[in-house]
């Protein structure tokens, strides 16, 4: 019995971490899409800011989302703003992002998922592989 438990527990944890990673990538994509849609609907820019070292992201300086236990940013999100150390994506009232970029998430087993915001349309997608550019 102990041999079965020794084999099964790591596999269960791997499955849980896999699901957490996919759930978080989908949640982040939903948050980005929602910020874009809100900008279009309200006519006021929407902003999602990423805090790499604290594993969180904020929407419009108000709503805070923390990455779940075991999920982290693999690399610094690529929403580059020259002249500042802040990392954020702003959606204009037209829905266009400034800038486009990618967020790479990982779990304890080094699985990766990418949440990609493309230019110029602002399409948000989740992918197993990084964007071509």
Q: Write the pLDDT tens digit of every residue in 14-63.
A: 999 999 999 999 999 999 999 999 999 999 999 999 999 999 999 999 99
Question: Sign of the C-alpha dihedral, residues 88, 89, 92, 97?
Answer: positive
What digits encode the pLDDT tens for the residues 87-111?
999 999 999 999 999 999 999 999 9
User: Could you tell me the domains of the chain?
Assistant: 2-127 (3.55.40.10)
Q: Beta-strand (E) ranges in 1-133?
A: 46-51, 56-59, 63-66, 72-73, 87-91, 97-98, 101-106, 112-117, 124-127
* Measured CA distances, 121 to 60, 95, 102, 103 (Å): 20, 7, 14, 17
Average predicted confidence (pLDDT) for the chain: 92
How many Cα neighbours within 13 Å face the side chain of 115? 25
What digits encode the pLDDT tens for the residues 68-90?
999 999 999 999 888 888 999 99
Distance, in Å, from the CA atom of 11 to the CA atom of 21, rounded to the nearest integer, reads 15
Which pLDDT does position 10 carry in this prediction? 67
């Amino acid at each position: 019995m102990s041999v079965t438990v020794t084999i099964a527990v790591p596999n269960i944890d791997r499955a849980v971490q896999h699901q957490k990673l996919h759930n978080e990538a989908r949640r982040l994509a939903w948050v980005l899409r929602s910020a874009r849609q809100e900008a279009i609907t309200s006519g006021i820019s929407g902003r999602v800011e990423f805090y790499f070292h604290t594993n969180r992201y904020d929407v419009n300086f108000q709503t805070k989302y923390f990455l779940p236990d075991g999920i982290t940013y693999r690399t610094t999100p690529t929403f580059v703003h020259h002249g500042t150390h802040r990392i954020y994506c702003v959606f204009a009232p037209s829905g266009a992002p400034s800038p486009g970029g990618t967020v790479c998430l990982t779990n304890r087993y080094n699985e990766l998922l990418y949440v990609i915001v493309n230019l110029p349309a602002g399409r948000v997608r989740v992918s197993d592989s990084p964007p071509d550019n």
